Amino acid sequence: MATCGEVLVKLLEGYGVEQVFGIPGVHTVELYRGLARSSIRHVTPRHEQGAGFMADGYARVSGQPGVCFIITGPGMTNITTAMGQAYADSIPMLVISSVQSRSQLGGGRGKLHELPNQAALVSGVAAFSHTLLSVAELPGVLARAFAMFQAGRPRPVHIEIPLDVLVENADALLASVPVNVSRAGAAPAAVQQMAAMLATARRPLILAGGGAIEAGAEVTALAERLGAPVALTINAKGLLPSRHPLLIGSTQSLVATRALVAEADVVLAIGTELAETDYDVTFAGGFEIPGALLRIDIDPDQTVRNYPPRLALVADARSAAAALLDALGRQPMAEHYQDWGAARAARLRADLSNHWDASTRAQTVFLDNVLQALPDAVFVGDSTQPVYTGNLTFNPEQPRRWFNSSTGYGTLGYALPAAIGAWLGGKDQGHGRPPVVCLIGDGGLQFTLPELASAVEARVPVIVLLWNNQGYEEIKKYMLNRAIEPVGVDIYTPDFIGVAKALGCFAQAVEDTASLRAALLTARERQGPTLIEIDQEVWTSKC
């Protein structure tokens, strides 16, 4: 007899799942009966929040949903923070949990791991939560989840399986096959309308977000056809290569870039929420789009949020950009105003470069040296100062190479487990997988420090760059700027090198660019994780 848990694993294999993150418990062991005989790799984090962050990093690099097996009750309360980050950034994540038996749901009888309503608990951080009340529902609910991952706006999905359903006979489902769904194409009439507006623009501009991450070639060609400067959100970095003359980076929160956006007569926003953490991180307002706004998004609801458009198109970003490019090829283009396009983008880049302060420059030198030592690296960041700087100054050559938790939900402790997942989601490029660099501060690392042991156990060679400023310095500055006496920000700083070594990692401190680059090159060759500590004060004084 094949149980529901065993058939679930078989169906996941059919959908191409190669990796699962989870901590086995008495309420999930039936999921592992099938997993042990499958081709799916399992990684055990040290906390369910770590499982969620690992799944998030895996999904961002691989483009496939990260999958977690999570125990009832505390496992689900632990993973909700990670689900919140994935929800905010539209990351595909499948969380499969156990729950009390059907006859005991909501019973309040003090059962082990019991919650009054587990599905309701996670409803705010999931696209949907489904309780599997019959084994026969399994293929349908998985099809629904993967349809959203493949063709809609991807976000976490939660499926909970009662303990009695997990062991039900599922032989009748052994012949079930995956259902694959294609994304919606662009409506021809809407494409023609957009193309007509773009063709007459004399100062066009493109804002591209994480929803356009698979449309790099099409967005680049569209920008070149229009002669439009391109601003990217943090999750879209790498959509245009770093030296492209039309790229203006991810500086929409800065006054100079806002002025450029305000000059545009037509703005095309593709796969972006136009939300605060990408466009107004000063939290003071001021980002405006006075020109005609055109929006393309896979989510119809999102096309009218934050900034209402003149015209909206609900479609996959790649097919929509390709259709627009084709339509523009058949239309005469208006002449640009003088000093627009590449010339205006170059002037903006020069203006910004001349106004970076000493701290920003020092952290940019730090990031540039990492990139020079590891040119193919994936950078996974936390909420920490080099990440804030990199969000403004760093431009990778390809997408899926720079992402972090300082946008969207904004959780701390994300970077280490997400970096582990990112390495597992990477593909061999002929000379091994790309190295993965974790950028994290001393405060953030203390949230998920035990996950170093997970990396050792899984033999994941993640490189942890610890930016140590002995506390929550950014919040301390914020308090001082608001005339608030700092409280709770000067926290105890442990011996991170000693702790990392105790957990099985190699660890060292570096003080300058030469020692950093040497440490990075050596770390790349290791079979397990490396922690490299950088003291902010020492680094800034020398660089």
Contact of 228 with 341, CB cutoff 8 Å: yes
Question: What distance in Å separates the CA atoms of residue 424 and residue 45, rounded to the nearest whole number?
Answer: 13
Q: Is the dihedral of CA 141, 145, 146, 151 positive or negative?
A: positive
Query: What average pLDDT does the segment 183-196 reach?
Result: 92
Q: How far is CA 482 from the centre of its chain?
A: 31
* pLDDT reading at 73 higher than 80: yes
Q: Assign 78 a pLDDT band (cuts: 50, 70, 90).
A: very high
* pLDDT reading at 283 higher than 70: no
Residue 105: what are its φ and ψ, rounded to 5°?
-60, 125
* pLDDT reading at 137 higher than 70: yes
Contact of 492 with 472, CB cutoff 8 Å: no
Contact of 111 with 104, CB cutoff 8 Å: yes
Q: Assign 330 a pLDDT band (cuts: 50, 70, 90).
A: confident
Query: What average pLDDT does the segment 407-425 reach?
Result: 95
Tell me how long the chain is: 543
**In terms of Cα–Cα distance, which of 282, 312, 289, 311 is closest to 299?**
312
Q: Around Cβ 347, how many Cβ atoms within 10 Å?
A: 13
Question: What distance in Å separates the CA atoms of residue 440 and residue 172, rounded to the nearest whole number?
Answer: 49
Question: What distance in Å separates the CA atoms of residue 478 and residue 459, rounded to the nearest whole number?
Answer: 39
Contact of 220 with 240, CB cutoff 8 Å: yes
Burial 193-217 (b: 16+ CB within 10 A, else e): bbbebbbebebbbbbbbbbbbbbbe
Query: What average pLDDT does the segment 82-88 reach?
Result: 97
The average confidence (pLDDT) of the chain is 93
pLDDT for res 523: 95
Q: Assign 338 a pLDDT band (cuts: 50, 70, 90).
A: confident
pLDDT for res 217: 96
pLDDT for res 212: 96
pLDDT for res 336: 75
In DSSP terms, 215 is beta-bridged to none
**CA separation, residue 331 to residues 13, 294, 295 (Å):** 47, 18, 20
pLDDT for res 251: 92
**In terms of Cα–Cα distance, which of 257, 198, 207 is closest to 225?**
198
pLDDT 10s digits, 219-241: 999 999 999 999 999 999 999 99
Q: How far is CA 127 from the centre of its chain?
A: 16
Topology at the third CATH level for domain 188-353:
Rossmann fold (3.40.50)
Query: What average pLDDT does the segment 14-34 reach?
Result: 94
Q: What percent of the chain has pLDDT over 70?
A: 99
Question: What distance in Å separates the CA atoms of residue 325 and residue 318, rounded to the nearest whole number?
Answer: 11
Query: What average pLDDT does the segment 420-449 reach?
Result: 92
Q: Assign 473 a pLDDT band (cuts: 50, 70, 90).
A: confident
For tokens 């096309």, what's the residue? 303
In DSSP terms, 97 is beta-bridged to 70, 160
Q: Please give the residue that has the higher pLDDT: either 47 or 26.
A: 47
**Mapping DSSP to helix (H, G, I), strand (E, B) and coil, where does residue 315 land?**
coil
Q: Please give the residue that has the higher pLDDT: either 429 or 469.
A: 469
In DSSP terms, 266 is beta-bridged to 204, 292
Query: What average pLDDT does the segment 251-260 reach?
Result: 92
pLDDT for res 540: 77
**In terms of Cα–Cα distance, which of 405, 438, 419 is closest to 89?**
405
Q: Around Cβ 92, how many Cβ atoms within 10 Å?
A: 28
Query: What average pLDDT does the segment 424-433 reach?
Result: 84
Domain 4-173 classified CATH 3.40.1350.10?
no
Query: What average pLDDT does the segment 192-213 reach?
Result: 96
Q: Please give the residue that has the higher pLDDT: either 315 or 329.
A: 315
Residue 290: half-sphere exposure toward Cβ, Cα within 13 Å? 9
Q: Can you state the angle between helices 451-458 and 415-425, rounded to 10 degrees?
A: 20
- Give the Cα-Cα-Cα angle 78, 81, 82 (nearest 5 degrees): 95
Query: What average pLDDT does the segment 54-60 reach?
Result: 98
Q: Assign 319 a pLDDT band (cuts: 50, 70, 90).
A: very high
**In terms of Cα–Cα distance, which of 468, 474, 471 is closest to 488?**
471
Burial 50-79 (b: 16+ CB within 10 A, else e): bbbbbbbbbbbbbebbbbbbbbbbebbbbb
Would you list the domain boundaries of the chain?
A: 4-173, 188-353, 358-542
In DSSP terms, 268 is beta-bridged to 206, 294
**Mapping DSSP to helix (H, G, I), strand (E, B) and coil, where does residue 152 land?**
coil
Domain 358-542 classified CATH 1.10.10.10?
no
pLDDT 10s digits, 346-374: 999 999 988 898 889 989 999 999 999 99
pLDDT for res 543: 67
Whether 188-353 and 358-542 share one fold: the answer is: yes
Contacts 24+ apart (CB under 8 A), 369-376: 369/513, 369/516, 369/517, 370/437, 370/465, 370/516, 370/520, 371/396, 372/517, 373/516, 373/517, 373/520, 373/521, 374/435, 374/437, 374/463, 374/520, 374/524, 376/429, 376/434, 376/435
Question: What distance in Å separates the CA atoms of residue 357 and residue 365, rounded to the nearest whole number?
Answer: 12
Query: What average pLDDT does the segment 339-350 reach?
Result: 94
Query: What average pLDDT does the segment 488-503 reach?
Result: 94
Question: What distance in Å separates the CA atoms of residue 343 and residue 425, rounded to the nearest whole number?
Answer: 39
pLDDT for res 115: 83
**CA separation, residue 427 to residues 135, 326, 422, 431, 435 (Å):** 35, 32, 10, 10, 11
pLDDT for res 17: 97
For tokens 């989870």, what's the residue? 22
* pLDDT reading at 145 higher than 80: yes
What DSSP character marks residue 248?
-
Q: Around Cβ 473, how many Cβ atoms within 10 Å?
A: 18
**In terms of Cα–Cα distance, which of 455, 454, 390, 462 is closest to 433?**
462
Question: What distance in Å separates the CA atoms of residue 154 and residue 298, rounded to the nearest whole number?
Answer: 10
* pLDDT reading at 284 higher than 70: no
For tokens 């599905």, what's the residue? 119
